[in-house]
Amino acid sequence: MEFDTIAAISTPPGEGAIAIVRLSGPEAVAIADKVFQSPSTKLLGEQKSHTIHYGHLVESDSKEVVEEVMLSLMRGPKTFTREDVVEINCHGGVVSVNRVLQLVLRNGARLAEPGEFTKRAFLNGRIDLSQAEAVMDLIRAKTDKAMNVALNQMDGKLSRLIGKLRQTLLETLAQVEVNIDYPEYDDVEEMTRPMIIQKGEEVRSAIEQLIQTSLQGKILRDGLSTVIIGRPNVGKSSLLNSLIQENKAIVTDIAGTTRDIIEEYVNVRGVPLKLVDTAGIRETEDLVERIGVERSRQVLQQADLILLVLNHSEALSEEDARLFETVKHMNYLVVVNKTDLPGKLSMEDVQKHAEGKSVITTSLLLEEGIDQLEEAIAGMFFGGEIESTDMSYVSNARHIALLHQAKATIEDAIEAAGHDIPIDMIQIDVTRTWEILGEIIGDTVEESLIDQLFSQFCLGK
Ligand SMILES: Nc1nc2c(c(=O)[nH]1)N(C=O)[C@@H](CNc1ccc(C(=O)N[C@@H](CCC(=O)O)C(=O)O)cc1)CN2
Ligand SMILES: Nc1nc2c(ncn2[C@@H]2O[C@H](COP(=O)(O)OP(=O)(O)OP(=O)(O)O)[C@@H](O)[C@H]2O)c(=O)[nH]1
Ligand SMILES: [K+]
Ligand SMILES: [Mg+2]
């Protein structure tokens, strides 16, 4: 495909040592030649591909010097976009890099839209949609593990899996056609239906396996939203500070210290947590505190995990019991804090309310119990260690939704094949499954969706 030539600043905004302005498109080299002067005096158009050149950028008419740069020359198709690419490495000042961008825009390039370089890599067939989406995941990855998931997807691991399933579906459809068109025996139906069921089952179970990795994949990608709740003064803010190893939240012995929601990201054994400290939940006359309590109840709704904190030096109160009731149907862990103080809390009571959920004891004052808590959190979602060899987790919400749809349609096909539903109806379900899986890799997908996906990228990517 032939496009116009785009340009953008590909490094983060602000001051840095070096900044890059990237050009891609059929005119990239010609535009660079208009504004680049090197000591060698040779035109870039005459230079070998994949070479880097020292020189100056100058105004095309006045030859006034604009910047001193290093320029990388990369001719397609062996480039990020498969088009001709020129990268101008300039000094990393805000003014400098903008000057360079303006210069190439004045000389024929168009300002790129967010994600447009990666979009071209997709449209020119270097990567498929799931690989392109992985590029964005990679940039946003907050932990090593999340980055590995993205790298694997970028490498095409998910694409290959999806490709294999679609191939099986196509072969099944082809076989159905053959059976119908060239019936060597009269028992076409008897041959065709079991084959659809067998192949359909193969595909269904593979999809199910992918879906099973998706909860973990999503956690690695988006972080586990973890809300700390408990009565005032039990040590919620102390717990946040211990987990992030920083004194971020205010801790005092005054009940009702935390009034606003405090959010912090922390990496617990490879699991990224978005930790949320909340106002202690209790009946209160204080207006500000009451608003805080109300907010605590709201953030609870969106939590993936709840840490319910109790005070070891006080008997279980009615408010504690109400908190247990609130989180009953959610993922939660109980943290019994202040074990350094004389115990008034009956652990039997706690176990009864916790209904089999883990109960961890801590003394945040003495820095005890944090290890066990971290272990319990990681164990809850990853059964101990996160798998590091086979990182083909599905992590993207769009992909997960499509996998669920694909599973439903292939199940329809299997079900229909086992009953007296006409073969052509079953073909429709199998074909639909093939299409839905195709949307994951961008093979069968609406242009508007493609535009929308790439627009979420950063500028210059
Ligand atoms: N300066 C710079 N650094 C960068 C990038 C970039 O665009 N510019 N990248 C941008 O994200 C990443 C590197 N990603 C890239 C991916 C593919 C190709 C590429 O040219 N692929 C070709 C040919 C490979 C080959 O030589 O065999 C291909 O796949 O056909 C280049 C960069 C990270 N670092
Ligand atoms: N003895 C003892 N004191 C602790 C422990 N953990 C926290 N504290 C103290 O308990 C008090 C309350 O701690 P916070 O972390 O502010 O409690 P909170 O649950 O956030 O309180 P609110 O925000 O007011 O609801 C502070 O004085 C802490 O130093 C512990 O393990 N042992
Ligand atoms: K407090
Ligand atoms: Mg607090």
Would you say residue 208 has pLDDT above 70?
Answer: yes
Q: What is the DSSP letter of 36?
A: E
Give the mean model confidence (pLDDT) for residues 295-306: 86
Structure tokens that stand for 461 in this block: 């990517």
Axis-axis angle for helices 28-35, 94-106 (nearest 10): 110
Q: Work out the pLDDT band at 184, boundaries 50, 70, 90.
A: low
pLDDT tens profile 423-438: 999 999 999 999 999 9
Would you say residue 391 has pLDDT above 80?
Answer: no
- CB count, 10 Å around CB of 412? 19
* CB-based contact 162:210 (threshold 8 Å): no
Q: Which residues pair with 337 in a beta bridge?
A: 311
79 lines ligand 1 (CB under 6 A): yes
**What is the model's pLDDT at position 384?**
53
Q: Tell me the CA–centroid distance for residue 299 and ligand 1, in Å.
A: 42
Out of 14-18, 262-266, 280-284, 454-458, pick the least confident: 280-284
461 lines ligand 1 (CB under 6 A): no
State the DSSP H helix or E strand holding residue 229, giving kind and residue range, or none if neither. Answer: strand 224-230
Would you say residue 220 has pLDDT above 90?
Answer: no
Q: Which of 301 and 252 is assigned the larger pLDDT?
A: 252
pLDDT tens profile 124-175: 999 999 999 999 999 888 888 888 889 999 999 999 999 999 999 999 999 9
Separation CA 71–CA 23 (nearest Å): 11
**What is the model's pLDDT at position 180?**
77
* CB-based contact 383:348 (threshold 8 Å): no
CATH topology of domain 131-213+394-454: Four Helix Bundle (Hemerythrin (Met), subunit A) (1.20.120)
Would you say residue 25 has pLDDT above 60?
Answer: yes
Burial of 226-243, coded b for 16+ CB within 10 Å and e otherwise, reads: bbbbbbbbbbbbbbbbbb
Q: How would DSSP label each residue in 292-340?
A: HHHHHHHHHHT-SEEEEEEETTS---HHHHHHHHHHTTS-EEEEEE-TT
- CB count, 10 Å around CB of 263? 14
Q: Tell me the CA–centroid distance for residue 261 and ligand 3, in Å.
A: 14
- Among residues 460, 395, 432, 461, the alpha carbon closest in space to that of 152 is found at 395
Would you say residue 252 has pLDDT above 80?
Answer: yes
Locate the ligand 2 atom nearest the alpha carbon of residue 280 and give its number: 25
Separation CA 44–CA 424 (nearest Å): 59
| Averaged pLDDT of the chain | 92
340 lines ligand 2 (CB under 6 A): yes
Axis-axis angle for helices 116-123, 129-140 (nearest 10): 150
83 lines ligand 1 (CB under 6 A): no
Name the pTM for this structure. 0.79
Q: Tell me the CA–centroid distance for residue 438 and ligand 4, in Å.
A: 49
78 lines ligand 1 (CB under 6 A): yes
* CB-based contact 338:363 (threshold 8 Å): yes
Structure tokens that stand for 359 in this block: 């109960």
Separation CA 266–CA 163 (nearest Å): 36
Q: Tell me the CA–centroid distance for residue 234 and ligand 4, in Å.
A: 8
CATH topology of domain 6-112: Gyrase A; domain 2 (3.30.1360)
pLDDT tens profile 30-43: 999 999 999 988 99
Question: Among the CATH numbers 3.40.50.2000, 3.40.250.10, 3.40.50.300, 2.120.10.30, which is that of 225-382?
Answer: 3.40.50.300
Dihedral-angle region of residue 450 (phi above 0 means left; psi in -120 to 50 means alpha; beta otherwise): alpha
pLDDT tens profile 327-378: 999 999 999 999 999 999 999 999 999 999 999 999 999 999 999 999 999 8
| Biggest distance spanned by C-alpha atoms of the chain | 86
Q: How would DSSP label each residue in 65-104?
A: EEEEEEEEEE-TTSSSSSS-EEEEEEE--HHHHHHHHHHH
- Tell me if domain 6-112 and domain 225-382 are identical in fold: no
Would you say residue 272 has pLDDT above 70?
Answer: yes
Give the mean model confidence (pLDDT) for residues 230-240: 96
87 lines ligand 1 (CB under 6 A): yes
Structure tokens that stand for 102 in this block: 């303006």
Q: Whose CA is nearest to atom 1 of ligand 2?
A: 338
247 lines ligand 2 (CB under 6 A): no
Q: Which of 199 and 267 is assigned the larger pLDDT?
A: 199
Q: Whose CA is nearest to atom 11 of ligand 2?
A: 253
Q: Work out the pLDDT band at 222, boundaries 50, 70, 90.
A: confident
**What is the model's pLDDT at position 149?**
87
Locate the ligand 2 atom nearest the alpha carbon of residue 239 and give its number: 15
| Domain spans in the chain, listed from the N-terminal domain onward | 6-112, 131-213+394-454, 225-382
pLDDT tens profile 71-106: 999 999 999 999 999 999 999 999 999 999 999 999
